[in-house]
Structure 1
Amino acid sequence: MSIGIHIPEYPQDCELVAGEDLAEDPAFWLAHVLLTMGDPGEPAEPYGVDAAAYDAMVERLGDPEQPWPVLRVRFDGGHTVHAVYANWEDQNDVEFVVSHPGWGRLGHLGQCGADEARPGLSWPELLALAAGTQEGGEGLSDPSERLLLLLPVLGDADMPGEAYDTVARALRDCGIRPEAAGPLAAMLLGEPDPVGGPRWTVTADSPIAVCSSPYSPRRVPLALGIAPDRALALAAALGGRQQG
């Protein structure tokens, strides 16, 4: 039985349930990356996923009659990323928010769906969250699962070449057919854009990096308005780039 959860400051006119049990099924991971980064109509069998299981997973993830699944990534300092499959009657989104019990607000990493808002993470930040400390028993603890869950909000002009191998390895770890993992990683990440791609910088206004993309919620510091000591703690937990 799914466990109901509460995200402080998140609109509570919907029922939220813990969705980490979905992570045990490779169909979830294929659906997650294709719904948010690719083509959900792609045939599932080449990736080693049963077509019927994939279709059932896509239907569950977008069902407005069911409670909204939430998968969590807890990381250093008591922070938590929540990936919420928000399914209204007329719109399906995947929302990525960060919470902390001492903030009194949410930090928005991004949204995939009708109203796109991303990127929300640089490559170093994604790696830091994938490897971050698991504090408590809730949420995903496997680094590959954590990386794939947050991959849809990645955007970075300075992404290294080994990023493709890192993502392919995570896909294999999560049940994608080994020989298909490399091509799928290449499709999800696309061609690098070192000129026009998103860039991340730390300014004098905040220790938390901001993004150059006009579509990113992180055009302003994440969780803008939190106390300076909490901003420093969040910046350290994200492991982001330093100014200059």
Structure 2
Amino acid sequence: MLKIPGYEGGPLVQGSAYLDNPLFWPVHLGTSLRGEDAQRAAFGADWDAAMELNRTLSGEHEWPVFNVPLRSGHTIHVVYRNFEDDQGVDYVIHHAAWSKAETLAAVDGHFMGPGMAWPELLSVARQPATEGAGDAAARLLLLFPTLGDAQLPDDAAAVLTTALAALTWIEEPAEVARMLLENQGLWAPARWTPTAGVWTNDGGHSFRNPGNAFALPERRLLEISDALRDGK
């Protein structure tokens, strides 16, 4: 059985086999596909099959885990947390030198985030990997639910469209990309600020906002900023 230091719950199982299923991606991105128009555009005639896949991903007997290793030696774990009365997806980051993993974001009814700015998401997606989710498009879509950025670049929609076209059966990926960026995360898009190498935001539910009582310690904020942006 898989273990993530400091992460309570399970049974954790490798979820990498799901990454080859084109329906996995709109299911995974579902919290940003709000409203009938968005769901119709993302799922189309595959709605029933997608809902069956969602039930499988949310089963209590297995908690799928997707690993995104970083060049820095850190790994982001995407965990489908399947307690009977507390389901959601946790995005946690860990390094072998840490005693426990730290939470970047949690997507559920008591959401926490955002966990990443757009430049960080893009940097992580493009970092090479020999294990875990290695494809750049897969890494981008897998971590997209952590995004909360009020200052998106002009090419963000095009980048997201390319990833959706590569991995899904969505007929109009550009339209779905637009909807995803309009509804990024369960939180309001945040403004990110670099200070002495530390990227922080102003989100009221974010572990990366030093103004929040539950924020990560400054040393962790610095290390995470460096890992996500690959030292840039």
Tell me which amino acid in the other structure corresponds to 1:56.
E
1:49-96 CA-partner distances (Å, limit 9, x unpaired): 6334312211112222x2100111001111100111101111211110
Q: Is the 8 A contact 2:22 2:168 kept in 1?
A: yes
Identity of aligned residues (%): 32
Q: Is the 8 A contact 1:44 1:50 kept in 2?
A: no
Match of 1:90 among 79, 82, 85: 85
Taking the aligned partners of 2:51 and 2:35, their CA distance within structure 1 comes to 9
2:23 alignment partner, SS class: helix
Matching residue of 1:216: 206
Taking the aligned partners of 1:49 and 1:70, their CA distance within structure 2 comes to 28
Taking the aligned partners of 2:39 and 2:227, their CA distance within structure 1 comes to 38
1:140 alignment partner, SS class: coil
Q: Is the 8 A contact 1:147 1:170 kept in 2?
A: yes
2:78 alignment partner, SS class: strand
Taking the aligned partners of 1:125 and 1:119, their CA distance within structure 2 comes to 12
User: Alpha-carbon deviation of 1:155?
Assistant: 1.0
Tell me which amino acid in the other structure corresponds to 1:163.
A
Matching residue of 1:190: 182
Taking the aligned partners of 1:49 and 1:241, their CA distance within structure 2 comes to 44
User: Alpha-carbon deviation of 1:240?
Assistant: 7.5
Matching residue of 1:146: 139
> Cα RMSD (Å) of the superposition?
2.8
Matching residue of 1:56: 52
2:172 alignment partner, SS class: helix
Distance change in 2, residues 1:215/1:235 (3 Å): closer
Tell me which amino acid in the other structure corresponds to 1:23.
L
Match of 2:15 among 19, 35, 51: 19
> Which structure 1 residue ranges, 5 or more long, are not aligned?
none
Distance change in 2, residues 1:122/1:43 (3 Å): closer
What is the TM-score with the length of structure 2 in the denominator? Answer: 0.86
Tell me which amino acid in the other structure corresponds to 2:191.
R
Taking the aligned partners of 2:14 and 2:222, their CA distance within structure 1 comes to 29
User: Alpha-carbon deviation of 1:224?
Assistant: 2.5
Matching residue of 2:113: 118
Matching residue of 1:71: 66
> Which structure 2 residue ranges, 5 or more long, are not aligned?
none
Matching residue of 2:4: 7
Taking the aligned partners of 1:40 and 1:59, their CA distance within structure 2 comes to 20
Matching residue of 2:123: 128
Distance change in 2, residues 1:10/1:184 (3 Å): same
Tell me which amino acid in the other structure corresponds to 1:142.
D
Comparing 207-216 and 139-148, the one that deviates more = 207-216
Taking the aligned partners of 2:101 and 2:204, their CA distance within structure 1 comes to 20
Taking the aligned partners of 1:241 and 1:147, their CA distance within structure 2 comes to 19
Taking the aligned partners of 2:42 and 2:104, their CA distance within structure 1 comes to 31
1:78 alignment partner, SS class: coil
Tell me which amino acid in the other structure corresponds to 1:130.
A
1:185-244 CA-partner distances (Å, limit 9, x unpaired): 11111079xxx841112335xx331111111121139853658xxx765433321898xx
